[in-house]
Amino acid sequence: MRTLIVNSMFASSVYRRCADELGSLNGMELTLLTVDAWRMNGRPMPCDGVSAKSPYATVIGKTAWRGYENRGFYISGLRRAFQLSRPDVLFLMEEPFSVFAAEILLAKSLFAPRIPVVFFTWNNLSLTQFDYRPSFFYRNVARRTLSHMHYALTANTDGIEVLRRAGFENPIRTVGYGVDTSAYQTPRPDRVKKIRDSLGISRDDIVVGYVGRMLEMKGVDLLIEAYTKLKSDHPRLKTKLLLVGSGEWEQPMLQLARDRGIALDLRHIPSVPHREVPDYMHTLDILVLPSRRKAMWAEQFGRVLVEAMAAGKIVIGSSSGAIPEVIGDGGFVFPENDSMALSTELVRAITLSPEKHAHLLTQAQTRAEHFSWQRFARDAFDAISFCHEHRTRTTASRGKVNA
């Protein structure tokens, strides 16, 4: 089953794990198209080297508007990718409202007009209203691309309603996303001790933490307010607050911590290499993701929650977007934008009995395994296989197909 998979994020070997697992499945003959360089959260992301042992052929294209997932487009590589792969199915991991999607489907119409298209989307709010400008442009792109695609994979259950409202009538399946859970399952005690020692965190300290971008929608201010109340109500608790990340709200958040009188408890690391994130995750006792909705954005998945659960840590998340469905029975959820409720959940997590604590961590690790790259690849393979087996029907009538 010859499949062409396209994703600008595959420039990073971290995200390329999807192709590693998918290409390893029996019956899959995979070709990957990605970009020669990208920008992630404003930072350069050059294309990592591809191993000669990778279970797929690789085409690296050049792009314009690097780092702009909505308006980036290929200026080379597309034609070669279709010619090299001779695909039976196209797996498009770009948003249906993006210029990438429109361009790639145009290339498909020229080089492989009769093959079906499986696509993946993060969108959990709307395909008719956007923060991007001009909004009407992206709305029309989505309307046109959706009519030429045959099977949708969504990162969250809200994505199903979004697609139906946009007129997509073909099969949809929620698959979440993939995480390298194995990298988080085994702690490296020497490295964790070194981190704690360097940060002045004692063995008895309970470490509450956040890992991610420091942006308004991520709600770090709610965590600082909740931690302040925790310390006020329980002054004898030995705790530390660890923030790992940077962004436009970095300095305002550090100032807020000083204003609230918790600066001595706060430890801040602006950034760490991805390979070291598991060590920092094992430094924590409790991971908090306090995201809030902002305009046309709500948390679409929350990968850091899965990483923390895989590491055997207690997770607490807000009710924003997909967070509750990712946590499931593996942690605690508080109402979005409610720092008082978050403080209550922190106390609840800290005061769990040993038996309830162990039971919760077992549930968390089981939940994390649901989001392994292996499981994601199997679900994607099932969708691709369905479209391949029903390709005559899926490519008829402007893409309409019944599951």
Confidence of residue 44 (pLDDT cuts 50, 70, 90): confident
Confidence of residue 81 (pLDDT cuts 50, 70, 90): very high
Closest CA to 151 of 133, 137, 125, 169: 169
Confidence of residue 395 (pLDDT cuts 50, 70, 90): low
298 plus 211 within the same structural domain: yes
The tokens describing 372, both together, are: 């392994």
Residue 255 resides in a domain: yes
pLDDT digits (tens, 9 = 90+) for 123-159: 999 999 998 889 999 999 999 999 999 999 999 999 9
The tokens describing 131, both together, are: 């923060």
Contacts of 374 (CB under 8 A, 6+ apart): 21
pLDDT digits (tens, 9 = 90+) for 16-33: 999 999 999 999 999 999
pLDDT digits (tens, 9 = 90+) for 171-188: 999 999 999 999 999 999
322 plus 378 within the same structural domain: no
382 plus 350 within the same structural domain: no
Residue 402 resides in a domain: no
Q: Which CATH number do you get for residue 346? A: 3.40.50.2000
Is the model's pLDDT at 103 over the cut of 70? yes
- pTM value is 0.94
Contacts of 306 (CB under 8 A, 6+ apart): 179, 181, 326, 367, 368, 371
The count of domains in the chain is 2
Torsion angles phi and psi, residue 209, rounded to 5: -145, 165
Is the model's pLDDT at 41 over the cut of 90? no
Q: What percent of the chain has pLDDT over 70?
A: 97
Residue 403 resides in a domain: no
Residue 401 resides in a domain: no
206 plus 336 within the same structural domain: yes
Kindly state the average pLDDT of the residues 293-299.
Answer: 95
pLDDT digits (tens, 9 = 90+) for 221-260: 999 999 999 999 999 999 999 999 999 999 999 999 999 9
10 plus 136 within the same structural domain: yes
CA 92 to CA 97: how far, in whole Å? 12
Residue 132 resides in a domain: yes
159 plus 267 within the same structural domain: no
Contacts of 208 (CB under 8 A, 6+ apart): 223, 227, 230, 239, 240, 241, 242, 284, 285, 286, 288, 346
Beta carbons within 10 angstroms of residue 323's beta carbon: 26
Is the model's pLDDT at 9 over the cut of 60? yes
pLDDT for the residue 396: 53
40 plus 163 within the same structural domain: yes
Host domain of residue 220: 182-369
Beta carbons within 10 angstroms of residue 114's beta carbon: 12
219 plus 71 within the same structural domain: no
Which residues are paired to 317 by β-bridges? 289, 333
85 plus 188 within the same structural domain: no
DSSP3 helix / strand / coil % (the chain, rounded to 5)? 40, 20, 40
Residue 324 resides in a domain: yes
274 plus 352 within the same structural domain: yes
pLDDT for the residue 397: 46
> What is the arrangement of strands in the sheet containing 29-35, beginning at the earlier edge strand?
56-61, 29-35, 2-6, 89-92, 117-121, 151-154, 172-174
pLDDT for the residue 267: 98
94 plus 7 within the same structural domain: yes
202 plus 238 within the same structural domain: yes
pLDDT for the residue 325: 97
Residue 103 resides in a domain: yes
Sequential DSSP letters for 291-357 = ---BTTB-----HHHHHHHHTT-EEEEESSTTHHHHHTTSSEEE-TT-HHHHHHHHHHHHT--HHHH
